[in-house]
C-alpha cells in the first residue's frame, strides 16, 4: 500500500489522538486548579485521574507524536515555517503534560506540591488553537 493511500488515515488517526491528548491536558489542568488546597478531594480523585492519564492521555500523546513525525517526514513541507512553529508548541504542550503528570503523581500519594500556575488551562487552550490553525491553514 502506498503512502499516498495511507496518508488520510494517518492524518485522521493523528487528529483523533491529538484531540484525546488535548482533552486530557485540559482535564488535568482544571482538576489541579479547582481542587488545589483540598487535600481530601485530591487524594480521592487524583489516583483515578492519574490512571486515566497513564492509560489514555499519555498513549494518545505518543501516538499523535509518532503519526505527526511520520506525516512530517512524508509530506512536502520541508521549506515551510508553520511546521517548526507547530512543533515548538507541541513540545511545550507535551512538557506541560509532563509537569501535570508529576503533580498528579504527588497528589495521588498525598504529597504536598507547589501550587499550580492558575493560567495553565487558558495557555493550553491558546496553544491548541494556534496548533490547530497552523495545521489547518498552513499560513507560512
Q: Are 83 and 55 in contact (CB under 8 A)?
A: no
Among residues 124, 117, 135, which one has the least CA distance to residue 95? 124
- Residue 67's pLDDT is 96
| Per-residue pLDDT reduced to its tens digit, 48-57 | 999 999 999 9
Q: What percent of the chain stands above pLDDT 70?
A: 96
Instruction: Assign 3 a pLDDT band (cuts: 50, 70, 90).
Output: confident
In the chain, where does DSSP find H-type helix? Answer: 3-34, 39-52, 58-74, 82-108, 120-137
| Per-residue pLDDT reduced to its tens digit, 40-99 | 888 889 999 999 999 999 999 999 999 999 999 887 777 889 999 999 999 999 999 999
- Residue 74's pLDDT is 82
pTM reported for the whole predicted model: 0.91
Among residues 98, 120, 113, 96, which one has the least CA distance to residue 37? 113
Amino acid at each position: 500500500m502506498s503512502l499516498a493511500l495511507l496518508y488520510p488515515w494517518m492524518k485522521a488517526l493523528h487528529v483523533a489522538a491529538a484531540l484525546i491528548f488535548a482533552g486530557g491536558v485540559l482535564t488535568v489542568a482544571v482538576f489541579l486548579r479547582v481542587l488545589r488546597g483540598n487535600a481530601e478531594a485530591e487524594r480521592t480523585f487524583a489516583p483515578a485521574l492519574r490512571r486515566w492519564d497513564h492509560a489514555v492521555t499519555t498513549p494518545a500523546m505518543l501516538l499523535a507524536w509518532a503519526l505527526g513525525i511520520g506525516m512530517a517526514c512524508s509530506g512536502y513541507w520541508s521549506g515551510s515555517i508553520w511546521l517548526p512553529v507547530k512543533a515548538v508548541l507541541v513540545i511545550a504542550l507535551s512538557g506541560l503534560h509532563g509537569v501535570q503528570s508529576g503533580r498528579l503523581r504527588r497528589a495521588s500519594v498525598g504529597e504536598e506540591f507547589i501550587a499550580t500556575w492558575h493560567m495553565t488551562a487558558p495557555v493550553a487552550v491558546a496553544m491548541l488553537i494556534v496548533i490547530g490553525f497552523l495545521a489547518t491553514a498552513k499560513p507560512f
